[in-house]
Amino acid sequence: MLHRNSWMYLLMLLGAVCASPIIRFNATKKLDEWIEIPNSSWEMTWVHRSVVEVQSHAKWGSKQTEVLFIFYSRSNATGSTYRLSELENVNDAVFNSSRPTRVIVHGWLNNRDSPFNVEVRRTYLKNWDYNVIVVDWSSCAGKLNYIAAAYCTTEVGKTVARMLLNLKMNKGLTLDDVYVVGHSLGAHVAGISGKAVGGGRISTIVALDPAYPLVSFWDQNSRVFRDDAQYVEVIHTSGGYLGFLEPIGTADFYPNGGVVQPGCGFNFAGICSHSRSWELFVESLLEPEERLMAKQILSLDNLQFGKDDTIRLAKMGGEPLNQKSDASGLYYMTTSDRSPYFDSNKPN
């Protein structure tokens, strides 16, 4: 008879296999009643669907979620904070419509001061004279309950869209100059905001390892999708675990295969690989274009088995992105196991 811990290990292993978009099999009806989600330690935990249904309708995922917008610029490094109802107070010193605008959306257990937000914001402003708007939805995402955070994304995305449309109408924002950059659940917030503004009106969405648990591949309205902006770039780094493995953008990039990143080792949680997506993006903003080139692959099968069917090259990340190019499809590249990550990339 197997020890209890052995059963738990087998159950987790089975869950990991079921979660993989490449390896599929018919699970029993009993197993279908359970869902894997991350806990506060980023460890995958089995939760019964009935619990998910109850908590998805709880107040955390309702319209009571507070969303804050922090406006930054080179002349306003400390930021100015506004709620949606306060945007009329935004003046020209806070937001200059003649500059490009970059919107940053964090994921679960993050807030305005999380490393993702801080590093992306600082890198943009150090190198370009932009408007940078950080979306802080930690009133929901900051809770330990992942289920609640996942079900906040729709309302938060719509609120971000209302913010952008307000700035367009009242402050002269040009949607062609807007990038929305989101990590994990924030990537889905970015996608939903693009839908709500009007698919294809925002210039670019950058989806950094879009969250996989509790997000349906089949429901395009609840996640980031290739039609949410003129160009949607997805960087996959923990595919099939914390992040999506399926291609869901205009161009989908799979550094090092897109599942486990060099230097992260193997673990069920995959938080190291999950975070690598935004770390790569930040460094891409500082690198010359030739170091960012990725090879096109024909399918995930080519990616899985390391086959090399190069058709063309496309740049992963960088500034500006590929919005004006014809980049589309799936791309593969190699990176180092530590910063500087792009030193080992040799696409040619």
Catalytic residue numbers, as ranges: 184, 209, 274
Contacts 24+ apart (CB under 8 A), 278-281: 278/116, 278/119, 278/120, 278/183, 278/208, 278/209, 279/119, 279/339, 279/341, 280/235, 280/237, 280/255, 280/316, 280/317, 280/335, 280/341, 280/342, 281/120, 281/181, 281/206, 281/208, 281/235, 281/317
Among 193, 283, 208, residue whose Cα is nearest residue 242: 208
Pairwise CA distance, residues 66 & 263, whole Å: 37
Pairwise CA distance, residues 47 & 36, whole Å: 6
Pairwise CA distance, residues 81 & 94, whole Å: 10
Containing H/E element for 327?
A: none
Crossing angle between the packed helical segments 146-171 and 185-198, to the nearest 10 degrees: 40
Whether 132 contacts 73, CB under 8 Å: yes
